[in-house]
Structure 1
Amino acid sequence: MIKCRIIALTLLGLLTAAMAKAQQQRPLSIAVLANATALPTRTGEIFRSVHPGLAVGTAFRYNQNPVNQLSQTLKVGYVYHQFVQHSVQVYSELEYKRLIRQRVSLAGALGAGYVHIFSATQVFRRNENGGYEEKPNWGRPQVMGTLALGLGYLLNPTSDKPLEIFARYQFWVEAPFVRQYVPVLPNTALHLGLNYPLFKRNN
């Protein structure tokens, strides 16, 4: 729990700093995703065993450069792993985006956050009478780290509110998963989504 509190305070500090410097538009980001419990070397698992999810977030710009953009993201995500767990994520990333020829962008992001995991099946415990009773499903806290690469395309780059479609490949880990034999659980996720500015841009 102490580690989770440290992560939460760090995220709050990063977000506060980003908001203080944010002078431009703040995008609303919405993406559907396919998740797999696998290392990046086994990317094909994403398509073989699809575990669906959703990610929603925004970003706060650190600079005003229209080509080289540095931002702090804040995102909330959900992933459903059938028969195993529901994962609720809250995380922040430092993201660098490079705009190429007005429409295409490449991005990289590194971040950390908090995951709360709920069992997708009933969990029982042995009672004093030797029988079994269902345990409350309050879930358990986890720490997460994330690394992502993205490709974006602006549909209307000259508009005051340009709409961007994007694909994002994310590698993220959660810990401690099972201390005895899987302390760190690797995940890969493919995001497909939209970025839409909530306010007009100033540049």
Structure 2
Amino acid sequence: MKKFITGLVLLLSLSVSAQKKQYISFAFTDNASAFPFGKFAGFFNEPVHAGFEFGWGHVKEKNKHDWFWELKAGYFYHQFVQNGIPIYATGGYRYRIVKHFSADVSLGVGYFHSIATTAVLKQNSSGEYVNAKGIGRPQVMVPFTLGANYDFNWNNTQQGRIFLEYQQRLQAPFVNSYVPILPYNQLAIGCAYYLPGKK
């Protein structure tokens, strides 16, 4: 796994010179554990498990088709389940439907740090239960994301993008004995700002 992640980072860094634009992004997120695409309606009628994400990306634009990659890091709190800290990379394709509107799809891989929100107890050699929560558990995550975007300009030179993203991610290993792979749904609403540079 370590060799795979090292190779992915190297590949992404080598492609930087071929990109035309780079951007930074910020999003508010809502998270829910459920089967893939099984919780979309729940984002609107169930408790919010709030979080946020920061991103940095590169995009190569053509007339109607964009290829992009992003590095993202964030945090969310899911009551009674976990504090989640995702750090991941994605690569994707964006299609411009009309002048300001576009849709995209991306796939990624990354690191996920899970910190339990409830007590974690372990029996010691004396037969007593002691706190074994620790600093959390390192895991692997695989995100698949669908997005819708609205591009805009201001001051005739600066560009931005408002986006709505639905992400289905797999988190593993969660609990080997009964839930080895935990599926998560995430809804993100945010904004990206294109950094000044050569077009």
1:51 to 32, 49, 52: 49
Residue 10 (structure 1) shift:
3.6
Q: Pick closer, same or farther for the CA change 1:180–1:132 going to 2, 3 Å.
A: closer
Contact in 1 for aligned 2:116/2:133 (Cα 8 Å): no
Structure 2 residue 113 is matched with structure 1 residue 113: no
Structure 2 residue 21 is matched with structure 1 residue 25: yes
* Counterpart position of 2:134: 137
Residue 49 (structure 1) shift:
3.1
Mapped to 2, the partners of 1:124 and 1:181 lie a distance apart of 17
Mapped to 1, the partners of 2:185 and 2:81 lie a distance apart of 16
Moved more, 151-160 or 36-45: 151-160
Structure 2 residue 193 is matched with structure 1 residue 191: no
TM-score by length of 1: 0.87
Contact in 1 for aligned 2:108/2:143 (Cα 8 Å): yes
SS in 2 for 1:90: strand
Mapped to 2, the partners of 1:74 and 1:155 lie a distance apart of 22
The 5-angstrom pairing of residues 150-169 of structure 1 reads 150-156=147-153, 159-169=156-166
List alignment gaps of at least 5 residues for structure 2.
Answer: none
Mapped to 2, the partners of 1:44 and 1:114 lie a distance apart of 27
List alignment gaps of at least 5 residues for structure 1.
Answer: none
Residue 87 (structure 1) shift:
1.0
Contact in 2 for aligned 1:28/1:198 (Cα 8 Å): yes
Structure 2 residue 167 is matched with structure 1 residue 176: no
Mapped to 2, the partners of 1:7 and 1:128 lie a distance apart of 39
SS in 2 for 1:101: coil
Residue 194 (structure 1) shift:
0.1
Q: Which amino acid aligns with 1:43?
A: F
Mapped to 1, the partners of 2:66 and 2:154 lie a distance apart of 15
* Counterpart position of 1:104: 101
Contact in 2 for aligned 1:31/1:193 (Cα 8 Å): yes
2:82 to 82, 85, 105: 85
Runs of 4+ residues over 4 Å off in structure 1: none
Q: Which amino acid aligns with 2:24?
A: L
SS in 2 for 1:58: strand
Contact in 2 for aligned 1:18/1:72 (Cα 8 Å): no
The percentage of aligned residue pairs carrying the same residue is: 32
Q: Pick closer, same or farther for the CA change 1:143–1:196 going to 2, 3 Å.
A: same
Cα RMSD, aligned residues only? 2.0
Q: Which amino acid aligns with 2:27?
A: A
Mapped to 2, the partners of 1:123 and 1:41 lie a distance apart of 28
Mapped to 1, the partners of 2:138 and 2:113 lie a distance apart of 5
Residue 7 (structure 1) shift:
4.5
Residue 29 (structure 1) shift:
0.9
Mapped to 2, the partners of 1:201 and 1:66 lie a distance apart of 17
Q: Which amino acid aligns with 1:36?
A: A
* Counterpart position of 2:67: 70
